[in-house]
Structure 1
């Protein structure tokens, strides 16, 4: 399975009340370049950093999906993300005037229509795809999630529900996720709660924007369903939205039993570990990757001070992942130390700074400039890096203000953190 990335042809807008906050939020969705991903921007907060739709920014919250970056948060984004994932829309800038995404009718159907109204454009970059080749299992009390390898070239979702409310039918549904199947079988399903939960949820300050039209109350004789098994189908909708936080298409058969947002997130974190392992091995590269020839074209550094061997992922100018393969032939090992070779911590930081410089040069107005490092903060060296290690470096743009940029970086070896720091750069003429 392989496909090209997609974005919108033209911007689209909507507005609505948040299901939990009861507050109105206006949303404007615009196209983004290849490998940029989906990012949320709070336009009601001055100089707010964008919040990527990534499991690394997911934060637990009752009955909804919340993303946090620094002091900025967005929540109840799962219905929109499910629609984008079903359509194969990879790169979007989503501007919001409040913290909670509009609930509209409580389903994903309005967002499906909204995205399609803007038109979809195929981009040159290939989408990243994870084809599962071993089972992954998550359990939390009575809730379980199993992701299995599959012979199909798509994601298959199966949900087994068991509602304890008297008179509420449970059931099991299974669908191969395609745009057509999602629109017909899953997208129209509205959010729900049990009749026995209503008072407790209201006491918690939840559901301020809930109405009879956008929320199904199970166990209430006045409730009318849109479709058979609507609550079970909505659980599948939430699951797809949460799986989108992986940042990769998933080819697997996922079986969920009484699963919710917390177990969904744990499964995505375990899948992300597999994604990173495959990236490090060069088995999961996208067009965003850069080999050493492209690195030499962008960076002025040369032997023995070029400390990036490969860039395996770039998201616009907001995030990059690179690799430094550490060998005993490195000149610094001759004196640091002959009997116990260790990569100096300052060189680990230098490697992160070089990767950050490459990331910042992707911003159009910085073309032809140099990223000069002028301060480091919150530096931590957590473990040794020795010959034979593969140092995985990640950098993320935190704030851009004129010619001054703050970048957060970290390094790891085989999943073990070894270094981290906050960098400040100034862009100067080359």
Structure 2
């Protein structure tokens, strides 16, 4: 559903300029960022071509490429727009003319940092039009082999992104993940500096094809068997951060703010653009009768706990944190929580290849974690650990597969001394997927250490 968001559109307060060398052709490139009118969006202008043709920054103009995102309208082509788009979207610049005097943006150091700093130094002004927001109302996922990217309904007025990167045990790039709720400040500090990366063999193949003639190991991250060659990491998880940066730039081609939760696993530019198209297609196919009668319709209730609050209480982390948000909680009595089941859950790699089904024990673990939230309201989680003592009366009634939203309902909760018990129910829509009776021993953390 598209709504008029709560924030006004923004453009630059003054012009900004960045000069650098293009990765593809090795040419000197100057890119100028200029203020633009409200509702005009981001437009790339080829100032080096007769008539200064322009290309709107929208997914309908994406030209298929490997390892990058390109835009084309007519004879005007702009290569490698993703880092510029990420900088604009990350700093919430909605309307901008991006003029360049070459077919590609400058590569800089392989990150968005130079663009983001220039944009930030130019400043932003608010405009008298509200920014459109696309609220993800239903799960949408796209897949290509082992790569997936999915969008799920999330908390009101928030976009949460997570990227999981795993190229296997033989890769010199270790498995890693990065989770972010981007704001302009966090984007500039934590995401914009993350640089593009590739393997040494890939770099040699590109050079043999005439690409990267003026690019060295100092200009991006090239991984050999022992790690980066001639360079050092800015963050331990810099590769996952850069893939999330690419995701920000590619999803900005929707042309609207997004509200929801986007989860990616090994996805690249082509798959990111496919998700952007799928979101717009879902939006255009929505029955108008389903839309609210007016913009004054009540906003959905915010969750009782978002993922950040859950992580403050629970010791679990990826890949074993199986809760995305708590919808409602009545301390000491009941709780309702949500788990978005995505194609990139690690257990789907073996359960089963070609026919992914969530293992029943993982559904039970999700129930146990939901019950753990209730327990943490009774016992200080900094001093106690709830451990499963028994699971009884287990019934598995429905398969849970990628794209499902697992609603976890915990009730009949009670505590006695150092024991806790509850009844758990897992639903997908109106169908019961599983239920069980759970019992826990609540143990002082000091006793575990001993």
State how far apart, in whole Å, the 2-side matches of 1:160 and 1:215 are.
21
Counting only pairs closer than 5 Å after superposition, residues 34-49 of structure 1 correspond to structure 2 as 34-49=38-53
Question: Are the equivalent residues in 2 in contact too, given 1:137–1:147 (CA < 8 A)?
Answer: yes
What is the RMSD computed on CA atoms of the aligned residues?
A: 2.2
SS at match of 1:76: coil
Report the TM-score, using the length of structure 1 for normalisation. 0.63
How much has 1:286 moved relative to structure 2? 13
Corresponding position: 1:27 with 2:31: yes
Corresponding position: 1:138 with 2:142: yes
How much has 1:79 moved relative to structure 2? 0.6
2:119 to 115, 122, 130: 115
State how far apart, in whole Å, the 1-side matches of 2:223 and 2:133 are.
37
Structure 1: segments with no counterpart, 5+ residues:
288-430
Question: Are the equivalent residues in 1 in contact too, given 2:47–2:53 (CA < 8 A)?
Answer: no
State how far apart, in whole Å, the 1-side matches of 2:213 and 2:100 are.
19
2:185 to 171, 180, 185: 180
State how far apart, in whole Å, the 2-side matches of 1:37 and 1:139 are.
29
Ranges of 4+ aligned residues in structure 1 off by more than 4 Å: 277-287
1:69 to 73, 76, 87: 73
State how far apart, in whole Å, the 2-side matches of 1:57 and 1:285 are.
33
Residue of structure 1 in register with 2:206 after alignment: 201
Question: Relative to 1, partners in 2 of residues 1:276 and 1:53: Cα closer, same or farther, differing over 3 Å?
Answer: same
Report the TM-score, using the length of structure 2 for normalisation. 0.61
Q: How many residues align?
A: 287
State how far apart, in whole Å, the 2-side matches of 1:186 and 1:204 are.
30
Residue of structure 1 in register with 2:7 after alignment: 3
SS at match of 1:252: strand
2:255 to 247, 261, 283: 247
State how far apart, in whole Å, the 2-side matches of 1:206 and 1:99 are.
14
1:90 to 88, 91, 94: 94
Bigger shift: residues 175-184 or 118-127: 175-184
Residue of structure 1 in register with 2:445 after alignment: none
Question: Are the equivalent residues in 2 in contact too, given 1:105–1:214 (CA < 8 A)?
Answer: yes
How much has 1:166 moved relative to structure 2? 3.5
Residue of structure 1 in register with 2:280 after alignment: 272
How much has 1:37 moved relative to structure 2? 0.4
How much has 1:220 moved relative to structure 2? 5.2
State how far apart, in whole Å, the 2-side matches of 1:251 and 1:39 are.
23
Residue of structure 2 in register with 1:232 after alignment: 240
How much has 1:280 moved relative to structure 2? 6.4
State how far apart, in whole Å, the 2-side matches of 1:167 and 1:49 are.
43
